[in-house]
Amino acid sequence: MEEYDESSAAFYDYYATGLEGELEFYVEEARQAGGPVLELGCGTGRILIPVAQAEVPVTGLDQSEAMLKVARHKISFCDDQVQERIELIQGDMGDFSLGKRFKLIIIPFRSFLHLLTPEDQRHALNCIREHLLDDGKLVFNIFDPNLDMIAGHFGAVGTALKHQTEFVHPATDRRVIVWDTRRYEREHQMIDQYWVFEELDDDGQVVSKRYSRMTLRYVFRYEMQHLLELCGFHIEALLGDFNKGPYQHGGEQIWVARRS
Protein backbone atom coordinates (compact mmCIF):
# COMPACT_ATOMS: atom_id res chain seq x y z
CA MET A 1 0.00 0.00 0.00
CA GLU A 2 1.54 3.29 -1.14
CA GLU A 3 1.81 6.17 1.31
CA TYR A 4 -0.13 9.23 0.14
CA ASP A 5 -1.73 7.80 -2.99
CA GLU A 6 -4.35 9.85 -4.83
CA SER A 7 -7.22 9.01 -2.48
CA SER A 8 -5.34 9.77 0.75
CA ALA A 9 -3.72 12.87 -0.80
CA ALA A 10 -7.17 14.22 -1.67
CA PHE A 11 -8.19 13.86 2.00
CA TYR A 12 -4.89 14.99 3.51
CA ASP A 13 -5.74 18.63 4.25
CA TYR A 14 -8.94 17.57 6.01
CA TYR A 15 -7.33 15.27 8.60
CA ALA A 16 -3.68 16.40 8.80
CA THR A 17 -4.16 20.00 9.88
CA GLY A 18 -0.78 20.45 11.55
CA LEU A 19 0.25 21.44 15.06
CA GLU A 20 -0.77 24.51 17.03
CA GLY A 21 1.41 27.46 16.09
CA GLU A 22 3.38 25.48 13.51
CA LEU A 23 2.33 27.45 10.44
CA GLU A 24 3.06 30.84 12.00
CA PHE A 25 6.41 29.60 13.33
CA TYR A 26 7.71 28.42 9.96
CA VAL A 27 6.40 31.44 8.08
CA GLU A 28 8.20 33.72 10.53
CA GLU A 29 11.42 31.70 10.13
CA ALA A 30 11.12 32.11 6.37
CA ARG A 31 10.38 35.82 6.65
CA GLN A 32 13.45 36.36 8.85
CA ALA A 33 15.65 34.37 6.46
CA GLY A 34 14.32 36.25 3.47
CA GLY A 35 14.84 33.32 1.15
CA PRO A 36 15.49 31.36 -0.78
CA VAL A 37 13.77 28.65 1.28
CA LEU A 38 13.59 24.92 0.64
CA GLU A 39 10.79 22.92 2.23
CA LEU A 40 11.37 19.17 2.34
CA GLY A 41 8.22 17.06 2.48
CA CYS A 42 6.13 20.00 1.29
CA GLY A 43 3.08 17.80 0.65
CA THR A 44 0.00 19.73 -0.40
CA GLY A 45 1.59 23.13 0.25
CA ARG A 46 0.06 23.83 3.68
CA ILE A 47 3.24 25.63 4.81
CA LEU A 48 4.76 26.39 1.41
CA ILE A 49 1.95 28.57 0.08
CA PRO A 50 1.81 30.90 3.13
CA VAL A 51 5.62 31.25 2.91
CA ALA A 52 5.26 32.44 -0.68
CA GLN A 53 2.39 34.72 0.36
CA ALA A 54 4.83 36.26 2.87
CA GLU A 55 6.88 37.37 -0.16
CA VAL A 56 9.59 34.73 0.30
CA PRO A 57 10.76 32.59 -2.66
CA VAL A 58 10.34 28.92 -1.79
CA THR A 59 11.08 25.55 -3.38
CA GLY A 60 9.03 22.56 -2.27
CA LEU A 61 10.25 18.97 -2.61
CA ASP A 62 8.09 15.91 -2.03
CA GLN A 63 8.28 12.28 -3.07
CA SER A 64 4.53 11.89 -3.65
CA GLU A 65 3.27 13.02 -7.04
CA ALA A 66 -0.29 12.77 -5.70
CA MET A 67 0.48 15.27 -2.94
CA LEU A 68 2.20 17.61 -5.38
CA LYS A 69 -0.83 17.41 -7.67
CA VAL A 70 -2.98 18.75 -4.83
CA ALA A 71 -0.39 21.47 -4.14
CA ARG A 72 -0.35 22.55 -7.80
CA HIS A 73 -4.14 22.80 -7.80
CA LYS A 74 -4.10 25.02 -4.69
CA ILE A 75 -1.28 27.16 -6.07
CA SER A 76 -3.26 27.74 -9.28
CA PHE A 77 -5.74 29.84 -7.26
CA CYS A 78 -2.99 32.09 -5.87
CA ASP A 79 -2.03 35.48 -7.25
CA ASP A 80 0.49 35.48 -10.09
CA GLN A 81 3.18 36.99 -7.87
CA VAL A 82 2.74 34.21 -5.31
CA GLN A 83 2.88 31.54 -8.01
CA GLU A 84 6.12 33.02 -9.35
CA ARG A 85 7.78 32.58 -5.95
CA ILE A 86 7.03 28.84 -5.84
CA GLU A 87 8.89 25.93 -7.41
CA LEU A 88 7.76 22.34 -6.90
CA ILE A 89 10.05 19.34 -7.37
CA GLN A 90 9.27 15.65 -7.05
CA GLY A 91 12.14 14.02 -5.19
CA ASP A 92 13.35 12.09 -2.17
CA MET A 93 14.40 14.16 0.85
CA GLY A 94 16.87 11.40 1.68
CA ASP A 95 18.77 11.77 -1.59
CA PHE A 96 18.44 14.91 -3.68
CA SER A 97 20.62 17.24 -5.71
CA LEU A 98 19.10 20.55 -6.80
CA GLY A 99 22.15 22.42 -8.02
CA LYS A 100 21.54 25.45 -5.80
CA ARG A 101 21.79 26.45 -2.16
CA PHE A 102 19.34 27.98 0.27
CA LYS A 103 19.29 30.42 3.16
CA LEU A 104 16.81 28.26 5.06
CA ILE A 105 15.71 24.62 4.82
CA ILE A 106 12.63 23.53 6.75
CA ILE A 107 11.05 20.13 7.39
CA PRO A 108 7.69 20.78 9.08
CA PHE A 109 5.13 18.42 10.61
CA ARG A 110 7.58 15.63 11.57
CA SER A 111 8.30 14.70 7.96
CA PHE A 112 11.92 13.89 8.84
CA LEU A 113 10.57 10.71 10.49
CA HIS A 114 9.69 9.27 7.07
CA LEU A 115 13.42 8.46 6.81
CA LEU A 116 13.33 4.90 8.09
CA THR A 117 16.96 4.05 8.85
CA PRO A 118 19.87 5.87 10.53
CA GLU A 119 21.70 5.63 7.20
CA ASP A 120 18.81 7.39 5.42
CA GLN A 121 18.76 10.07 8.09
CA ARG A 122 22.50 10.72 7.85
CA HIS A 123 22.37 10.82 4.06
CA ALA A 124 19.49 13.31 4.18
CA LEU A 125 21.31 15.56 6.63
CA ASN A 126 24.42 15.49 4.47
CA CYS A 127 22.30 16.46 1.42
CA ILE A 128 20.71 19.26 3.44
CA ARG A 129 24.08 20.59 4.56
CA GLU A 130 25.34 20.67 0.96
CA HIS A 131 22.26 22.66 -0.06
CA LEU A 132 22.65 25.33 2.64
CA LEU A 133 24.45 28.60 2.12
CA ASP A 134 27.45 29.11 4.40
CA ASP A 135 25.29 30.93 6.95
CA GLY A 136 22.20 28.87 6.15
CA LYS A 137 19.88 27.41 8.77
CA LEU A 138 17.99 24.13 9.13
CA VAL A 139 14.75 24.17 11.14
CA PHE A 140 12.55 21.10 11.62
CA ASN A 141 10.34 19.39 14.16
CA ILE A 142 9.72 15.80 15.22
CA PHE A 143 7.71 14.39 18.11
CA ASP A 144 9.56 13.32 21.23
CA PRO A 145 8.86 9.60 21.83
CA ASN A 146 6.49 8.90 24.74
CA LEU A 147 8.05 5.82 26.30
CA ASP A 148 5.02 4.96 28.45
CA MET A 149 2.76 4.90 25.41
CA ILE A 150 5.24 2.90 23.35
CA ALA A 151 5.76 0.35 26.13
CA GLY A 152 2.03 -0.21 26.33
CA HIS A 153 1.51 -0.77 22.60
CA PHE A 154 4.00 -2.88 20.70
CA GLY A 155 4.22 -6.20 18.91
CA ALA A 156 1.97 -7.79 16.34
CA VAL A 157 -1.39 -6.65 17.74
CA GLY A 158 -1.05 -2.87 17.88
CA THR A 159 -3.61 -0.39 19.17
CA ALA A 160 -7.37 -0.55 18.79
CA LEU A 161 -9.01 1.67 16.20
CA LYS A 162 -9.27 5.19 17.58
CA HIS A 163 -11.52 7.97 16.33
CA GLN A 164 -9.38 10.86 15.12
CA THR A 165 -11.60 13.37 13.35
CA GLU A 166 -14.30 13.72 10.72
CA PHE A 167 -14.96 15.99 7.76
CA VAL A 168 -17.25 16.48 4.79
CA HIS A 169 -16.15 14.68 1.63
CA PRO A 170 -15.02 17.37 -0.86
CA ALA A 171 -16.70 15.62 -3.83
CA THR A 172 -19.79 13.90 -2.40
CA ASP A 173 -20.63 16.15 0.59
CA ARG A 174 -20.96 13.01 2.68
CA ARG A 175 -19.62 12.68 6.21
CA VAL A 176 -16.24 10.95 6.48
CA ILE A 177 -15.06 9.51 9.80
CA VAL A 178 -11.31 9.04 10.28
CA TRP A 179 -9.92 6.26 12.48
CA ASP A 180 -6.38 5.16 13.07
CA THR A 181 -4.47 2.24 14.54
CA ARG A 182 -0.73 1.92 15.07
CA ARG A 183 1.85 -0.69 15.99
CA TYR A 184 5.19 0.11 17.63
CA GLU A 185 8.31 -1.92 16.90
CA ARG A 186 10.69 -0.93 19.66
CA GLU A 187 13.78 -2.73 18.35
CA HIS A 188 13.85 -0.61 15.18
CA GLN A 189 12.05 2.45 16.63
CA MET A 190 9.29 2.12 14.05
CA ILE A 191 5.62 3.06 14.02
CA ASP A 192 3.36 1.35 11.51
CA GLN A 193 0.13 3.34 11.28
CA TYR A 194 -3.06 2.78 9.30
CA TRP A 195 -5.63 5.50 8.64
CA VAL A 196 -9.18 4.29 7.95
CA PHE A 197 -11.65 6.59 6.17
CA GLU A 198 -15.32 5.63 6.39
CA GLU A 199 -17.73 7.55 4.16
CA LEU A 200 -21.33 7.50 5.44
CA ASP A 201 -24.64 8.09 3.68
CA ASP A 202 -27.56 10.01 5.19
CA ASP A 203 -28.67 6.89 7.08
CA GLY A 204 -25.26 6.43 8.67
CA GLN A 205 -24.39 3.42 6.54
CA VAL A 206 -20.79 3.00 5.37
CA VAL A 207 -20.80 3.38 1.58
CA SER A 208 -17.02 3.56 1.12
CA LYS A 209 -13.99 2.60 3.18
CA ARG A 210 -10.40 3.50 2.34
CA TYR A 211 -7.10 2.72 4.02
CA SER A 212 -3.85 4.66 4.07
CA ARG A 213 -0.63 3.33 5.59
CA MET A 214 2.17 5.43 7.08
CA THR A 215 5.48 4.21 8.51
CA LEU A 216 7.72 6.39 10.66
CA ARG A 217 10.97 5.93 12.57
CA TYR A 218 10.95 7.90 15.82
CA VAL A 219 14.16 9.54 17.08
CA PHE A 220 15.23 10.28 20.64
CA ARG A 221 16.58 13.66 21.71
CA TYR A 222 20.27 12.82 22.09
CA GLU A 223 20.18 10.54 19.06
CA MET A 224 19.00 13.51 17.00
CA GLN A 225 21.62 15.79 18.53
CA HIS A 226 24.33 13.26 17.68
CA LEU A 227 23.07 12.92 14.09
CA LEU A 228 23.14 16.69 13.57
CA GLU A 229 26.62 17.11 15.00
CA LEU A 230 27.90 14.07 13.10
CA CYS A 231 26.66 15.61 9.84
CA GLY A 232 28.32 18.98 10.36
CA PHE A 233 25.67 21.10 12.05
CA HIS A 234 25.98 23.50 14.96
CA ILE A 235 22.86 23.34 17.12
CA GLU A 236 21.49 26.76 18.01
CA ALA A 237 18.39 25.67 19.90
CA LEU A 238 16.13 22.80 20.86
CA LEU A 239 12.61 24.11 21.47
CA GLY A 240 9.65 22.33 22.98
CA ASP A 241 6.79 24.17 21.27
CA PHE A 242 6.12 26.70 18.54
CA ASN A 243 5.99 29.52 21.07
CA LYS A 244 9.70 28.80 21.64
CA GLY A 245 9.13 27.19 25.02
CA PRO A 246 11.70 24.77 26.53
CA TYR A 247 12.02 21.14 25.48
CA GLN A 248 9.98 18.70 27.57
CA HIS A 249 10.02 14.92 27.35
CA GLY A 250 7.10 13.52 25.41
CA GLY A 251 6.33 16.79 23.63
CA GLU A 252 7.93 18.19 20.51
CA GLN A 253 11.56 18.44 19.41
CA ILE A 254 11.99 21.62 17.36
CA TRP A 255 15.58 21.81 16.17
CA VAL A 256 17.34 24.96 14.96
CA ALA A 257 20.80 24.31 13.51
CA ARG A 258 23.30 25.97 11.22
CA ARG A 259 25.86 24.60 8.85
CA SER A 260 29.17 24.52 10.74
Q: Pairing state of beta strands 132-143 and 102-107? A: parallel
- pLDDT, one tens digit for every residue, the chain (260 residues): 456 677 789 899 999 999 999 999 999 999 999 999 999 999 999 999 999 999 999 999 999 999 999 999 999 999 999 999 999 999 999 999 999 999 999 999 999 999 999 999 999 999 999 999 999 999 999 999 988 777 766 555 567 899 999 999 999 999 999 999 999 998 899 999 999 999 999 999 999 999 999 999 999 999 999 999 999 999 999 999 999 999 999 999 999 999 98
- The answer to whether 249 touches 242, Cβ cutoff 8 Å, is no
Distances from the Cα of 43 to the Cαs of 28, 46, 120, 246, in angstroms?
19, 7, 19, 28
Q: How many CB atoms lie within 10 A of CB 78?
A: 16
Residue spans per domain, the chain: 6-144+219-259, 147-217
In whole angstroms, what is the distance from residue 255 CA to residue 111 CA?
13
Amino acid at 89: I
Q: What is the pTM of this model?
A: 0.95
Q: What is the CATH number of domain 6-144+219-259?
A: 3.40.50.150
**DSSP letter, residue 66:** H
User: How many other CB atoms sit within 10 Å of the CB of residue 87?
Assistant: 15
